[in-house]
A = this chain, B = another copy of it.
């Protein structure tokens, strides 16, 4: 996972614990992909101040993750769920002897897909 994806995930989990300013600048950089200079202009602060704010916010988010580990836990669960999904996809039409069996399989696949979608931030 690249740094931007990891940072976005951290903010998805712990963002509500940041101040409005921290969240705002974080969002401009990591979600809307603005450069430090562009953010400096928008926020009317120096480029260095943007840099410091982002570094400080990153430290805060990483500290929360170090204590709570919820992003790691989430990624691990998603991985396991994806493995189950793959397994369910490996059923072949010819594996079933009954319409009920096929229907259960189809419904289970759908429910797993929905669950994965709901945990995909």
Chain A interface (Cβ within 8 Å of chain B)?
13-14, 16-17, 64, 67-68, 70, 77, 80-81, 83-84, 87-88, 90-92, 94-98, 100-101, 104, 107-108, 111-112, 114-115, 118-119
Contact A115 B16 (CB under 8 A): no
Given known contacts A16-B68, A77-B77, A95-B97, what 14 new A-B pairs fall within 8 Å (CB)? A70-B70, A77-B115, A80-B114, A81-B115, A87-B107, A87-B111, A91-B104, A92-B100, A94-B98, A95-B96, A95-B100, A95-B101, A97-B97, A108-B108
Contact A17 B80 (CB under 8 A): no
Contact A67 B16 (CB under 8 A): yes
